[in-house]
Amino acid sequence: MGRPREFDIDTAIKTATELFWRKGYEGTSLSDLTGAMRITAPSFYFAFGNKEKLFRVVIERYYEKQLELLESALREPTVRGVAEKFLYGYADVLTGPSHAPGCLALNSSLPSAEDDTVRAWLAKLRGELIVRLRKRIAKARGTTDLPVNADPDVLARYIAVIAWGLAVEAQSGAKRKDLYSAIAAGLAAWPAAAVPAPERRLLPTTRKSASAHRRQ
């Protein structure tokens, strides 16, 4: 017979999410977690294994929500619309009243040591975001949506850099309106949509001359 649980797992994960969001991964200790959950260390280890495993569960749930935002943005008809919907939506997440300011993942990744496995894992997740954006932008290159010389990788990274800059600013206390202003300034540099070449038409006199030439 398995050991009975002394607490609700989902409630415990929500508690851990709040702690990690506010204090970061490294800044959250085991005693912080067990104290907030009101459980013993043995119960914690039995339920989650260790702090890193719990953190990965928390981040995976967080990224599920972020992927919903990304998927919605990727369905926009233009790539500029993709950038706008994702960035403004992300700004709303960063400044939401139900949690500490900033990005849960970025708040935890910046303070980590260079060789830290958690930091490497978070970097991999951010890289997957860039790949998704790059693929969507590449489809639009050379259409009326985007100039043929636009670089999908550069533009995808540009969106990501703006997003992560917003996260740092939000963590530092920037308000939603401040983030919106920064997004507008950043998107001012977005490549203009390609303008289709005007259809060439013969002037009336030219058409008349061509018709006369065919009768000769």
Task: For residue 79, give the CATH number of its domain.
Answer: 1.10.357.10
Please tell me the pTM assigned to this model: 0.81
The separation between CA 3 and the C-alpha centre of its own chain, rounded to angstroms, equals 39
Domain-located, residue 196: no
Residue 74 lies in a domain: yes
Question: For the chain, give me the number of helices (H) and strands (E)?
Answer: 10, 0
Assigned domain for 168 exists: yes
- 55-100 pLDDT, tens per residue? 999 999 999 988 999 999 999 999 999 999 999 999 999 999 888 8
- How far is Cα 154 from Cα 22, in angstroms, rounded to an integer? 32
Does residue 89 form part of some domain?
yes
pLDDT tens across 23-66, in order?
989 899 999 999 999 999 999 999 999 999 999 999 999 999 88
The answer to whether residue 185 scores a pLDDT higher than 90 is yes
Contact indicator for 7, 38 with CB cutoff of 8 Å: yes
Would you say residue 131 lies in a domain?
Answer: yes
CA distances from 188 to 32, 83, 115, 191 (A): 44, 12, 37, 8
In-domain check, residue 106: yes
pLDDT score for 143:
85
- Is 162:185 a contact under the CB 8 Å cutoff? no
213 vs 216: CA distance, rounded Å: 5
Q: Which domain holds residue 174?
A: 62-189
Q: Is 203 inside any structural domain?
A: no
Q: How many domains does the chain have?
A: 1
The answer as to whether 39 is a domain residue is: no
